[in-house]
Amino acid sequence: MNVSSRRASRRRGDGGAGGGGVERTSAGRSGGEHHGAEQARPAARRTARRGTGPRRGVRRPWRLGTAAAAVYVFLYAPILWLALVSFNDSRTLSTLTGFSLRWYAELANDERVVSALLLSLRLAAASAVIATVIGTLAAFGLRRAFRGRGLWTTLLALPLVVPEVVLGVSLLAFCVQLMGIPLGFGALLLAHVTFSLSYVVVVVRARLAGLDPRIEEAAADLGADPLTRWRTVTLPLIAPAVGAGAAFAFVLSFDDVVTSGYLTGVGSTTLPVFVYGQARRGVSPEVVALSTAMVAASAALLLLGVLVTVVRARRAGRSAARDVLASAS
């Protein structure tokens, strides 16, 4: 360990002692509430104003940590503000005058909101089921070696790069002019399965790639026929990824606004499309409350999905989060 003279010498062992001095990074935003990015940064006394250069051994880059923490504030402050305002009892957005549930009460009594919510839930459930089934199957198909596999991989990833506007208008043209499919639930379902499918394929493929083929081969050697092998060995192993894919598909469907905007029929509007219609008129506490509720619903779904996957993965002995993260790459 030669201490180069270019750097500020720091009197500290390698153990990374020192408490987590959480610096409040007020990035000039609304009351930067607490967020989860509490980095344990040692209160290292620095004598020179220099970033810590790389050096063998443990370093605690407090600067980088601060930058990261600032980004977390940026990510969370708006949502927290939204939530705070939704419980405010006045119409104003800038001063919190008191706690009240009145905006939520108004929502619950608004028939349009309730029916849009029910449609959104039905739609998300249906499209998640279809997308998960055919997406998982396709992920298995891509595992095999055959000519033109690259083409199929591209086809299955295509919905990821088609802009939502384009997907929406193309399906509008398709349903209205070509097929005579009435707008509404059916048309929406076509669109939602189409854009969810790729996510399922990506998530399940990532998991399949990490599987040891010898496990399945062992099952075959022990006399399991393909169907039994699939049911008792392969499927349990990929269950976390299938669950993650289904959760992805559900939330994507539940949140979609652009594509759905073209395909909603009279009297069959999804919740996001309804909110968007309201939101364009300016900022209103009702829409703030509705948005908060949607955030809470998505977060709850995510949590549920993660919990289920974690429990399953614990059984399968692998971190579920890794799947979700691997899938996202």
Both tokens of 46, joined, read 């620095």
Among 166, 215, 218, 307, binds another protein (CB under 8 A): 166
CB of 305: closest distance to another protein in angstroms?
10
SS3 state of residue 115: helix
- 175 closest CA partner among 185, 162, 163: 185
Footprint on residues 38-57 left by another protein (CB under 8 A): 51, 53-54, 56
Paired tokens of 321 = 């989060």
Nearer Cβ to another protein, position 79 or 125?
A: 79
Cβ distance 7 to 23 under 8 Å?
Answer: no
Return phi, psi of residue 318, to 5°: -150, 150
Interacting residue with another protein among 8, 64, 126, 183 (CB under 8 A): 64
Structure tokens at 214: 């010898």
Q: Which two tokens stand for residue 220?
A: 């075959």
Q: Can you list the alpha helix ranges (DSSP code H) found in 87-110?
A: 102-108
- Out of 15, 36, 98, 317, the residue judged to bind another protein by CB under 8 A: 36
Return d(Cα 69, Cα 39) in angstroms, integer.
8
Q: Out of 44, 129, 164, 185, point to the residue binding another protein (CB under 8 A).
A: 164
User: Cα–Cα–Cα angle for 103, 106, 111, nearest 5°?
Assistant: 140
Question: Measured from the CB of residue 206, what is the shortest distance to another protein in angstroms?
Answer: 10
**Minimum distance, C-beta of residue 36 to another protein, in the bound complex (Å):** 5
Smallest separation, CB 101 to another protein (Å): 18
What is the residue type of 87? F
**Residues binding another protein: what is the number (CB under 8 A)?**
106
167-226 residues near another protein, rule: CB under 8 A: 167, 169-174, 176-178, 190-191, 193-194, 197, 201, 205, 208-209, 211, 213
Q: Scanning the structure block, which residue is given the tokens 């809470």?
A: 296
- Least distance to another protein, CB of residue 4, Å: 9
CA distance 132 to 193: 9
Q: Which residues pair with 88 in a beta bridge?
A: 99
By C-beta, is 115 or 284 nearer to another protein? Answer: 284
Q: Which stretch binds another protein (CB under 8 A): 17-25, 106-114, 121-129, 164-172?
A: 164-172
Contact indicator for 192, 123 with CB cutoff of 8 Å:
yes
Whether 156 contacts 171, CB under 8 Å: no
Q: Note whether 92 binds another protein by CB under 8 A.
A: yes
On the CB side of 288, CA atoms within 13 Å amount to 24
120 to 159, contacts with another protein by CB under 8 A?
133-135, 137-138, 140-146, 149, 152, 155-156, 158-159
Of 17-25, 69-77, 101-109, 121-129: span binding another protein (CB under 8 A): 69-77
CB of 224 to another protein, least distance (A): 16
Subset of residues 269 to 328 that bind another protein, contact rule: CB under 8 A: 272, 275-276, 279-280, 283, 287-288, 291-292, 294-295, 298-299, 301-302, 306, 319, 321-322, 324-325, 328
